[in-house]
Amino acid sequence: MTAPLSILFVAEAVTGSRSAQRLNALRGLGHRVVFVPTTPPGFCCEDSPSLAYRVSYRLRLPLDRAGVNAALNGIDASAFDVVLLDNAAMIRRTALIGLKRRNPRLRLVWFSEDDLMNPRHRSRWLEAAIPLFDLWVTTKSFNADPNELPRLGAKRILFVNNSFDPDLHRPVSVDESERQAFSADVSFVGTFEAPRAASLLHLARQGIACRVWGNGWGGMIGLHPNLVVRNRPVYGPDYPRVLAASAVNLCFLRHFNRDRQTTRSVEIPACGAFMLHERSEEMMALLRDGVEAAYFSDDTELTAQCRRWLADPGTRSAAAAAGRERIRALGLSHAETMARVLDAAGCPS
Protein backbone atom coordinates (compact mmCIF):
# COMPACT_ATOMS: atom_id res chain seq x y z
CA MET A 1 0.00 0.00 0.00
CA THR A 2 1.29 3.46 -0.95
CA ALA A 3 2.20 5.65 2.01
CA PRO A 4 -0.21 8.53 2.71
CA LEU A 5 0.75 11.89 1.24
CA SER A 6 1.05 15.21 3.03
CA ILE A 7 -1.13 17.65 1.09
CA LEU A 8 -1.54 21.39 1.45
CA PHE A 9 -5.04 22.13 0.15
CA VAL A 10 -5.78 25.77 -0.71
CA ALA A 11 -9.46 26.41 -1.43
CA GLU A 12 -12.58 28.35 -0.46
CA ALA A 13 -14.52 27.52 2.68
CA VAL A 14 -18.18 28.33 2.04
CA THR A 15 -21.50 26.56 2.49
CA GLY A 16 -22.24 24.20 -0.38
CA SER A 17 -18.72 24.38 -1.74
CA ARG A 18 -17.45 21.42 -3.74
CA SER A 19 -13.98 22.33 -2.47
CA ALA A 20 -15.06 21.11 0.96
CA GLN A 21 -16.25 17.87 -0.63
CA ARG A 22 -12.88 17.39 -2.31
CA LEU A 23 -11.14 18.11 0.99
CA ASN A 24 -13.13 15.33 2.65
CA ALA A 25 -12.39 13.01 -0.26
CA LEU A 26 -8.64 13.57 0.08
CA ARG A 27 -8.82 12.81 3.79
CA GLY A 28 -10.99 9.79 3.07
CA LEU A 29 -8.19 8.45 0.86
CA GLY A 30 -6.00 8.42 3.96
CA HIS A 31 -3.84 11.45 3.23
CA ARG A 32 -2.77 14.05 5.78
CA VAL A 33 -4.34 17.27 4.57
CA VAL A 34 -3.73 20.77 5.90
CA PHE A 35 -6.42 23.18 4.74
CA VAL A 36 -5.67 26.83 3.92
CA PRO A 37 -8.94 28.72 3.26
CA THR A 38 -9.05 31.38 0.55
CA THR A 39 -12.18 32.97 2.07
CA PRO A 40 -12.36 34.81 5.41
CA PRO A 41 -14.25 33.30 8.38
CA GLY A 42 -18.02 33.52 7.99
CA PHE A 43 -17.87 34.29 4.27
CA CYS A 44 -21.04 33.44 2.35
CA CYS A 45 -21.61 33.49 -1.41
CA GLU A 46 -24.81 35.45 -0.82
CA ASP A 47 -22.94 38.32 0.90
CA SER A 48 -22.90 41.63 -0.97
CA PRO A 49 -19.32 42.29 -2.11
CA SER A 50 -17.60 45.48 -1.02
CA LEU A 51 -16.68 48.23 -3.46
CA ALA A 52 -13.00 47.33 -3.09
CA TYR A 53 -13.76 43.71 -3.93
CA ARG A 54 -15.82 44.66 -7.01
CA VAL A 55 -13.13 46.99 -8.31
CA SER A 56 -10.35 44.46 -7.75
CA TYR A 57 -12.43 41.78 -9.47
CA ARG A 58 -12.97 43.95 -12.54
CA LEU A 59 -9.26 44.72 -12.67
CA ARG A 60 -8.58 40.96 -12.42
CA LEU A 61 -6.47 41.58 -9.33
CA PRO A 62 -8.56 39.84 -6.63
CA LEU A 63 -7.99 40.78 -3.03
CA ASP A 64 -6.32 38.23 -0.78
CA ARG A 65 -8.93 38.69 1.95
CA ALA A 66 -7.94 35.56 3.89
CA GLY A 67 -4.18 36.20 3.79
CA VAL A 68 -3.41 33.10 1.74
CA ASN A 69 -0.09 34.33 0.37
CA ALA A 70 1.20 35.26 3.82
CA ALA A 71 0.09 31.85 5.11
CA LEU A 72 1.97 30.05 2.35
CA ASN A 73 5.07 32.17 2.93
CA GLY A 74 5.10 31.02 6.55
CA ILE A 75 4.53 27.31 5.93
CA ASP A 76 7.24 24.68 6.28
CA ALA A 77 7.17 23.44 2.69
CA SER A 78 9.41 20.49 3.51
CA ALA A 79 6.52 18.95 5.44
CA PHE A 80 4.42 18.48 2.27
CA ASP A 81 4.46 16.38 -0.88
CA VAL A 82 1.95 18.38 -2.90
CA VAL A 83 0.17 21.73 -2.86
CA LEU A 84 -3.29 21.56 -4.44
CA LEU A 85 -4.79 24.95 -5.25
CA ASP A 86 -8.52 24.77 -5.91
CA ASN A 87 -9.41 27.89 -7.92
CA ALA A 88 -7.23 30.10 -5.71
CA ALA A 89 -7.06 33.04 -8.11
CA MET A 90 -5.45 35.38 -5.54
CA ILE A 91 -2.25 33.32 -5.40
CA ARG A 92 0.96 35.22 -6.13
CA ARG A 93 3.82 33.87 -8.17
CA THR A 94 6.25 34.80 -5.40
CA ALA A 95 4.42 32.60 -2.88
CA LEU A 96 4.70 29.57 -5.18
CA ILE A 97 8.35 30.27 -5.96
CA GLY A 98 9.02 30.43 -2.22
CA LEU A 99 7.36 27.06 -1.65
CA LYS A 100 9.42 25.47 -4.43
CA ARG A 101 12.62 27.04 -3.16
CA ARG A 102 12.04 25.59 0.30
CA ASN A 103 11.12 22.18 -1.15
CA PRO A 104 12.23 21.56 -4.77
CA ARG A 105 10.44 18.17 -4.75
CA LEU A 106 7.08 19.76 -3.93
CA ARG A 107 4.38 19.24 -6.58
CA LEU A 108 2.24 22.25 -7.43
CA VAL A 109 -1.20 21.32 -8.77
CA TRP A 110 -3.99 23.63 -9.96
CA PHE A 111 -7.65 22.50 -10.04
CA SER A 112 -10.54 24.48 -11.51
CA GLU A 113 -14.06 23.89 -12.80
CA ASP A 114 -14.05 27.18 -14.76
CA ASP A 115 -13.00 28.03 -18.30
CA LEU A 116 -9.65 29.69 -17.60
CA MET A 117 -9.44 31.08 -21.13
CA ASN A 118 -12.22 33.44 -20.08
CA PRO A 119 -10.35 36.43 -18.58
CA ARG A 120 -13.01 36.94 -15.89
CA HIS A 121 -11.97 33.58 -14.39
CA ARG A 122 -8.24 34.15 -14.82
CA SER A 123 -6.66 36.75 -12.57
CA ARG A 124 -3.50 38.63 -13.51
CA TRP A 125 -1.88 37.07 -10.45
CA LEU A 126 -2.66 33.61 -11.80
CA GLU A 127 -1.48 34.41 -15.32
CA ALA A 128 1.98 35.15 -13.96
CA ALA A 129 2.02 31.86 -12.02
CA ILE A 130 0.71 29.40 -14.65
CA PRO A 131 4.17 28.11 -15.79
CA LEU A 132 5.11 27.21 -12.20
CA PHE A 133 2.50 24.45 -11.87
CA ASP A 134 3.58 20.84 -12.32
CA LEU A 135 0.03 19.88 -13.27
CA TRP A 136 -3.01 21.86 -14.37
CA VAL A 137 -6.34 20.07 -13.85
CA THR A 138 -9.50 21.25 -15.61
CA THR A 139 -13.05 20.03 -16.16
CA LYS A 140 -13.09 21.94 -19.47
CA SER A 141 -11.76 19.50 -22.08
CA PHE A 142 -11.10 22.23 -24.64
CA ASN A 143 -8.72 24.05 -22.26
CA ALA A 144 -6.17 21.32 -23.04
CA ASP A 145 -6.11 22.27 -26.73
CA PRO A 146 -2.66 23.55 -27.83
CA ASN A 147 -3.94 27.07 -28.51
CA GLU A 148 -5.54 27.40 -25.07
CA LEU A 149 -3.87 26.80 -21.67
CA PRO A 150 -0.59 25.50 -23.18
CA ARG A 151 -0.30 28.84 -24.97
CA LEU A 152 -0.48 30.57 -21.59
CA GLY A 153 2.37 28.46 -20.23
CA ALA A 154 0.65 25.42 -18.70
CA LYS A 155 3.15 22.55 -18.95
CA ARG A 156 0.99 19.50 -18.22
CA ILE A 157 -2.81 19.47 -18.39
CA LEU A 158 -5.19 16.81 -17.13
CA PHE A 159 -8.84 16.86 -18.14
CA VAL A 160 -11.24 15.26 -15.67
CA ASN A 161 -15.01 14.99 -15.83
CA ASN A 162 -17.03 16.68 -13.11
CA SER A 163 -17.40 14.59 -9.97
CA PHE A 164 -19.80 13.96 -7.09
CA ASP A 165 -19.85 13.31 -3.37
CA PRO A 166 -21.28 9.80 -2.74
CA ASP A 167 -22.24 10.72 0.82
CA LEU A 168 -24.36 13.65 -0.37
CA HIS A 169 -25.27 12.87 -3.97
CA ARG A 170 -27.27 9.68 -3.55
CA PRO A 171 -30.91 8.60 -3.78
CA VAL A 172 -33.02 9.77 -0.85
CA SER A 173 -36.60 9.32 0.26
CA VAL A 174 -38.79 12.35 0.88
CA ASP A 175 -41.64 12.41 3.37
CA GLU A 176 -44.91 14.21 2.83
CA SER A 177 -43.76 17.51 4.33
CA GLU A 178 -40.62 17.46 2.18
CA ARG A 179 -42.67 16.61 -0.88
CA GLN A 180 -44.88 19.62 -0.17
CA ALA A 181 -41.79 21.82 0.13
CA PHE A 182 -39.80 20.50 -2.83
CA SER A 183 -42.03 18.66 -5.32
CA ALA A 184 -42.25 19.79 -8.93
CA ASP A 185 -43.05 18.42 -12.36
CA VAL A 186 -39.94 20.19 -13.66
CA SER A 187 -37.26 21.77 -11.49
CA PHE A 188 -34.07 23.68 -11.99
CA VAL A 189 -31.40 24.41 -9.38
CA GLY A 190 -28.90 27.09 -10.30
CA THR A 191 -28.07 30.77 -10.55
CA PHE A 192 -30.17 33.11 -12.68
CA GLU A 193 -29.13 33.67 -16.26
CA ALA A 194 -31.28 35.29 -18.92
CA PRO A 195 -31.31 32.32 -21.37
CA ARG A 196 -32.30 29.96 -18.56
CA ALA A 197 -35.05 32.33 -17.45
CA ALA A 198 -36.41 32.57 -21.00
CA SER A 199 -36.53 28.77 -21.35
CA LEU A 200 -38.27 28.28 -18.02
CA LEU A 201 -40.82 31.00 -18.79
CA HIS A 202 -41.43 29.34 -22.15
CA LEU A 203 -42.17 26.04 -20.41
CA ALA A 204 -44.55 27.77 -18.00
CA ARG A 205 -46.43 29.41 -20.88
CA GLN A 206 -46.74 25.99 -22.52
CA GLY A 207 -48.60 24.72 -19.46
CA ILE A 208 -45.70 22.90 -17.76
CA ALA A 209 -45.31 23.53 -14.03
CA CYS A 210 -41.75 24.49 -13.05
CA ARG A 211 -40.00 25.26 -9.79
CA VAL A 212 -36.69 27.18 -9.65
CA TRP A 213 -34.07 27.30 -6.89
CA GLY A 214 -30.99 29.51 -6.78
CA ASN A 215 -29.70 33.05 -6.49
CA GLY A 216 -30.79 36.02 -8.57
CA TRP A 217 -34.29 34.93 -9.55
CA GLY A 218 -36.18 37.67 -7.66
CA GLY A 219 -37.23 39.45 -10.85
CA MET A 220 -39.02 36.31 -12.06
CA ILE A 221 -41.33 36.01 -9.06
CA GLY A 222 -44.99 36.21 -10.08
CA LEU A 223 -44.38 36.30 -13.83
CA HIS A 224 -46.49 33.19 -14.46
CA PRO A 225 -48.61 30.90 -12.25
CA ASN A 226 -46.81 27.83 -13.64
CA LEU A 227 -43.41 29.19 -12.61
CA VAL A 228 -42.75 28.94 -8.87
CA VAL A 229 -39.57 30.82 -7.98
CA ARG A 230 -37.79 29.96 -4.74
CA ASN A 231 -35.30 32.78 -4.81
CA ARG A 232 -32.72 31.01 -2.66
CA PRO A 233 -30.13 28.27 -3.13
CA VAL A 234 -30.46 24.73 -1.80
CA TYR A 235 -27.41 23.27 -0.11
CA GLY A 236 -26.52 20.07 1.68
CA PRO A 237 -29.22 17.41 2.20
CA ASP A 238 -31.95 19.64 0.75
CA TYR A 239 -30.33 19.44 -2.69
CA PRO A 240 -30.92 15.68 -3.24
CA ARG A 241 -34.38 16.11 -1.70
CA VAL A 242 -35.28 18.64 -4.40
CA LEU A 243 -34.03 16.25 -7.07
CA ALA A 244 -35.87 13.28 -5.58
CA ALA A 245 -39.14 15.23 -5.36
CA SER A 246 -38.94 16.45 -8.97
CA ALA A 247 -40.08 14.37 -11.91
CA VAL A 248 -37.76 16.09 -14.40
CA ASN A 249 -34.54 17.85 -13.36
CA LEU A 250 -33.15 20.33 -15.87
CA CYS A 251 -29.47 20.95 -16.49
CA PHE A 252 -28.58 24.02 -18.55
CA LEU A 253 -25.13 24.79 -19.91
CA ARG A 254 -23.42 28.14 -19.45
CA HIS A 255 -22.48 29.29 -22.92
CA PHE A 256 -20.21 32.12 -21.78
CA ASN A 257 -18.28 29.42 -19.91
CA ARG A 258 -18.32 27.24 -23.05
CA ASP A 259 -19.80 24.41 -20.97
CA ARG A 260 -19.98 20.91 -22.38
CA GLN A 261 -20.89 19.54 -18.95
CA THR A 262 -21.41 21.04 -15.50
CA THR A 263 -21.21 19.85 -11.91
CA ARG A 264 -24.96 19.12 -11.98
CA SER A 265 -24.41 16.94 -15.08
CA VAL A 266 -22.91 14.38 -12.71
CA GLU A 267 -24.61 15.22 -9.40
CA ILE A 268 -28.19 14.80 -10.68
CA PRO A 269 -27.77 11.25 -12.02
CA ALA A 270 -25.60 10.35 -9.02
CA CYS A 271 -28.67 11.13 -6.90
CA GLY A 272 -30.70 8.66 -8.94
CA ALA A 273 -32.83 11.50 -10.32
CA PHE A 274 -33.99 11.86 -13.91
CA MET A 275 -32.05 14.52 -15.84
CA LEU A 276 -33.04 16.47 -18.94
CA HIS A 277 -29.79 18.07 -20.10
CA GLU A 278 -28.94 20.70 -22.67
CA ARG A 279 -27.37 18.76 -25.54
CA SER A 280 -23.61 18.44 -25.97
CA GLU A 281 -21.59 15.71 -27.65
CA GLU A 282 -19.42 15.37 -24.54
CA MET A 283 -22.39 14.65 -22.29
CA MET A 284 -24.01 12.29 -24.77
CA ALA A 285 -20.79 10.26 -24.74
CA LEU A 286 -21.12 9.95 -20.94
CA LEU A 287 -24.86 9.28 -20.65
CA ARG A 288 -26.81 7.69 -23.50
CA ASP A 289 -29.69 9.71 -24.88
CA GLY A 290 -33.05 8.25 -23.94
CA VAL A 291 -31.44 5.49 -21.87
CA GLU A 292 -29.50 7.16 -19.04
CA ALA A 293 -30.60 10.79 -19.53
CA ALA A 294 -32.43 12.91 -22.09
CA TYR A 295 -31.32 15.97 -24.05
CA PHE A 296 -32.65 19.14 -25.68
CA SER A 297 -31.21 21.78 -27.99
CA ASP A 298 -33.82 24.53 -27.98
CA ASP A 299 -37.04 25.55 -26.26
CA THR A 300 -39.23 23.62 -28.72
CA GLU A 301 -37.37 20.38 -28.05
CA LEU A 302 -37.21 21.17 -24.32
CA THR A 303 -41.00 21.44 -24.19
CA ALA A 304 -41.51 18.23 -26.18
CA GLN A 305 -39.05 16.31 -24.01
CA CYS A 306 -40.67 17.50 -20.79
CA ARG A 307 -44.08 16.38 -22.02
CA ARG A 308 -42.74 13.02 -23.19
CA TRP A 309 -40.95 12.13 -19.95
CA LEU A 310 -43.64 13.49 -17.62
CA ALA A 311 -46.13 11.21 -19.35
CA ASP A 312 -44.01 8.07 -18.85
CA PRO A 313 -42.95 7.69 -15.19
CA GLY A 314 -41.89 4.05 -15.60
CA THR A 315 -39.39 4.73 -18.38
CA ARG A 316 -38.29 7.89 -16.59
CA SER A 317 -37.47 5.95 -13.41
CA ALA A 318 -35.58 3.33 -15.40
CA ALA A 319 -33.49 6.01 -17.11
CA ALA A 320 -32.72 7.66 -13.77
CA ALA A 321 -31.55 4.35 -12.30
CA ALA A 322 -29.44 3.60 -15.39
CA GLY A 323 -27.90 7.06 -15.23
CA ARG A 324 -26.84 6.53 -11.62
CA GLU A 325 -25.26 3.18 -12.45
CA ARG A 326 -23.38 4.70 -15.38
CA ILE A 327 -21.99 7.59 -13.32
CA ARG A 328 -20.81 5.16 -10.65
CA ALA A 329 -19.29 2.81 -13.25
CA LEU A 330 -17.32 5.71 -14.74
CA GLY A 331 -15.66 6.30 -11.34
CA LEU A 332 -16.70 9.93 -11.07
CA SER A 333 -16.73 10.31 -7.30
CA HIS A 334 -14.54 13.06 -5.83
CA ALA A 335 -12.26 10.45 -4.23
CA GLU A 336 -11.70 8.59 -7.50
CA THR A 337 -11.08 11.86 -9.32
CA MET A 338 -8.64 13.12 -6.68
CA ALA A 339 -6.77 9.79 -6.84
CA ARG A 340 -6.36 10.28 -10.61
CA VAL A 341 -5.14 13.83 -10.07
CA LEU A 342 -2.52 12.80 -7.52
CA ASP A 343 -1.36 9.94 -9.73
CA ALA A 344 -0.99 12.27 -12.74
CA ALA A 345 0.99 14.68 -10.56
CA GLY A 346 3.45 11.89 -9.77
CA CYS A 347 2.03 11.33 -6.27
CA PRO A 348 0.29 7.90 -6.38
CA SER A 349 -2.55 7.68 -3.92
pLDDT of 293 strictly over 70: yes
- CATH of range 176-329; options 3.30.70.20, 3.40.50.2000, 1.10.10.10, 1.10.3720.10: 3.40.50.2000
Indicate the pTM of the whole model.
0.94
- List, for residues 216-266, the tens digit of each pLDDT value: 999 999 999 999 999 899 999 999 999 999 999 999 999 889 999 999 999
- List, for residues 165-208, the tens digit of each pLDDT value: 999 999 999 999 999 899 999 999 999 999 999 999 999 999 99
Please state which of the ranges 44-53, 104-113, 181-190, 315-324 shows the lowest mean pLDDT. 44-53
Q: What is the mean pLDDT of residues 134-141?
A: 97
Residue 328, classed as helix, strand or coil, is: helix
**Shortest CA distance to 72 belongs to which of 125, 14, 137?**
125
For the four alpha carbons of 230, 233, 235 and 241, in that order, the dihedral sign comes to positive
Tell me which fold the domain 6-163+333-344 belongs to: Rossmann fold (3.40.50)
Q: What is the DSSP letter of 333?
A: B
Split at pLDDT 50, 70, 90, the class of 45 is: low
- Residue 219: the pLDDT is 95
Domain with CATH 3.40.50.2000 in the chain: 6-163+333-344, 176-329
Which percentage of the chain shows pLDDT scores above 90? 87
14 vs 8, 46, 118, CA distance in Å?
Answer: 18, 10, 23
